C-alpha cells in the first residue's frame, strides 16, 4: 500500500514545484514506484526530468534517487552475483552509447522502458535481500542514461557505470566511485 497522498490513480504525485502528477510512473516488480517529473536543467530544460522513488509503504514519501544508492545497491548485489552485475553494467554502458535523448515532450510522456523485460529475463537470479529488484534497477539505469543524454558533453552517469564495474572487478577503489557519485569529483 502506497502513501495515498503521493500515489493517486496509479500515478506518483509531488507537491513541490511543479506540483502535480509524474510525467510517467513505472512500478517495479518489488512494488517500488519510479516516477519521472519535470526538471529544469541542461541543454533542453523543457525535456529534462528528475527520477523519484516511492516505496510501497503507507507513510513513504517520494525522494530523488541519489546516484550513490544505485551504486551501493549494485555493489551489494555483486557480492553474491559478481559476473551477472558486471554483465548488467556492460549492458547499460552499451545502451548508453546507443540511446538517443528525447526529441519532444510527447515522446517523453509516452516512453516505455526498452530494457526492462530483457533485464528481468537475463538477470532474474540477481536478487539480494535488502536491495532493489532487478527490474527497479533496470528502469532507473535506463532513465538515467536518457536523462544524461539530454545534455551534450555530460558524462558523470556514464563514468559512474564504468567506475562501478571497475570497482567490482577490483580495478578501482570504492572511495573513487563514492567521490564521483557523492561529491562529483573525478579522481
For the chain, give every domain's residue range.
Answer: 7-183
Q: What pLDDT does residue 183 have?
A: 80
∠ CA 118-53-105, nearest 5°, is 75
Quick: pLDDT tens for 84-102.
999 999 999 999 999 999 9
Confidence at residue 152, expressed as pLDDT on a 0 to 100 scale:
86
pLDDT at res. 96: 97
For position 187, what pLDDT does the model report? 57
How many other C-beta atoms are found inside a 10 Å radius of the C-beta of residue 58?
A: 11
**Spatial contact of 57 and 50, defined as CB atoms under 8 Å apart:** no
Residue segments in the chain with a per-residue pLDDT below the cut of 70: 186-187
Give pLDDT, residue 98.
97
According to the model, what pLDDT value does residue 24 have?
A: 95
Torsion of CA 57, 52, 140, 175, to 10 degrees: -100
DSSP H or E stretch at residue 64: strand 63-64
CB contact set of 185 (below 8 Å; sequence gap of 6+): 179
State the maximum Cα–Cα separation within the chain, in Å, rounded to a whole number.
46
For the stretch 56-87, pLDDT in tens is 999 999 999 888 899 999 999 999 999 999 99
Amino acid at each position: 500500500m502506497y502513501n495515498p497522498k503521493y500515489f493517486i490513480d496509479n500515478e506518483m504525485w509531488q507537491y513541490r514545484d511543479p506540483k502535480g502528477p509524474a510525467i510517467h510512473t513505472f512500478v517495479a516488480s518489488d512494488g517500488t514506484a519510479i516516477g519521472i517529473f519535470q526538471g529544469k536543467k541542461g541543454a533542453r530544460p523543457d525535456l529534462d526530468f528528475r527520477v523519484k522513488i516511492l516505496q510501497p509503504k503507507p507513510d513513504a514519501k517520494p525522494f530523488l534517487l541519489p546516484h550513490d544508492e544505485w551504486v551501493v545497491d549494485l555493489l551489494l548485489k555483486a557480492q553474491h552475483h559478481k559476473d551477472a552485475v558486471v554483465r548488467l553494467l556492460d549492458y547499460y554502458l552499451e545502451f548508453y552509447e546507443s540511446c538517443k535523448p528525447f526529441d519532444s515532450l510527447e515522446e517523453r510522456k509516452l516512453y516505455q522502458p526498452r530494457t526492462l523485460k530483457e533485464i528481468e529475463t537475463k538477470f532474474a537470479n540477481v536478487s539480494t535481500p535488502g536491495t532493489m529488484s532487478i527490474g527497479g534497477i533496470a528502469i532507473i539505469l535506463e532513465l538515467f542514461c536518457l536523462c544524461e543524454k539530454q545534455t551534450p558533453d555530460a558524462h558523470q552517469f556514464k563514468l559512474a557505470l564504468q567506475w562501478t564495474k571497475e570497482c567490482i572487478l577490483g580495478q578501482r577503489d570504492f572511495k573513487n566511485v563514492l567521490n564521483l557519485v557523492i561529491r562529483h569529483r573525478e579522481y
